[in-house]
Amino acid sequence: MFKAQYRINDLKQICLAQMAQVDCLLTPTAGRHFTVAEMLVEPIKRNSELGYYTNFMNLIDLASIAVPTVMTENDMPFGITLVGPTFSDRMLMSIANRIQQALPLKKGALEVMATPSNTTPVGNNQTIDVMVCGAHLEGQPLNWQLTERGAKLKSKTTTAPVYRMYALAGGPPLRPGLLLDESNGAAIDVEVWSVPTTNFGSFVAGIPAPLGIGKVRLADGSQVAGFICEPYGMENAKDITHLNSWRAYLATLE
């Protein structure tokens, strides 16, 4: 028994290393349909065959979700199963939801189409997107606080045109502050970094006042966690909104 447990654990490490390279594993839920007669003749064999794409999940402790997709030419249902690491349920459900949007089916035997669910983007609970606009930008003095935590640059974009940027007093390092201004704001150049969830807390804990992390609107209308500034931090700060970029401001100091 112990030899078998060690063997399973060895195989699990191989499987997880492979799965780390993809979003999820996709298989048929079952290889084929069996008739009642076939099941009665060879119940153990047929049940084993039905579990061909599912039994391994229990052995190596994976998460999965079965998704109905289409009806076959014989008017039989065909489904797929999405498989991911332990506790990846939220991500798998998000992907399953998108698949169901693309392949709508009727409600069972009824001639009624299933009600479309929401179109929320696929969720990934392994990382958290963080917007940076100043000293944490690529190549800037505090960027190491992201890279040493395994963060990856996801995109370079701008905020929605509803923010004002200020150069805060103090330093080094020099730091900017963003304030929401719906009526007189501008689009500010920013970067979005994907930070591993396990390291997000330590990153936030190291942010000094008056800065903090809140929700920031981007140019595409989405919201991400990002740097914001408490209003009291504006004391002796310089308004640099017209430059639309922290790098542009730094260039004026050279």
97-144 pLDDT per residue, tens: 889 888 888 877 777 877 767 666 666 678 899 999 999 999 999 999
CA distance 27 to 83: 8
The 3-class secondary structure across the chain, one letter per residue, is CHHHHHHHHHHHHHHHHHHCCCCCEEEECCCCCCCHHHHHHCHHHHHHHHCCCCHHHHHCCCEEEEEEEEECCCCCEEEEEEEECCCCHHHHHHHHHHHHHHCCCECCCCCCECCCCCCCCCCCCCEEEEEECCCCCCCCCCCHHHHCCCCEEEEEEEECCCEEEEECCCCCCCCEEEEECCCCCECCEEEEEEEEHHHHHHHHHCCCCCEEEEEEEECCCCEEEEEEECHHHHCCCEECHHHCCHHHHHHHCC
Residue spans per domain, the chain? 2-102, 127-252
CA distance 28 to 254: 61
The Cα-based distances of 37 to 42, 46, 52, 206 in angstroms read 9, 11, 20, 66
Q: What's the N-to-C CA distance of the chain in angstroms?
A: 70
CA distance 125 to 197: 7
42-69 pLDDT per residue, tens: 999 999 998 899 989 989 999 999 999 9
Contact 192, 154 (CB under 8 A): yes
With a cut of 80, say whether residue 35 has pLDDT above it.
Answer: yes
Mean of the per-residue pLDDT values of the chain: 90
* Predicted TM-score (pTM) of this structure: 0.64
Domain 127-252 has CATH 3.40.718.10: no
What per-residue confidence (pLDDT) applies to 123?
60
148-184 pLDDT per residue, tens: 999 999 999 999 999 999 999 887 889 999 999 999 9
212-242 pLDDT per residue, tens: 999 999 999 999 999 989 888 888 999 999 9
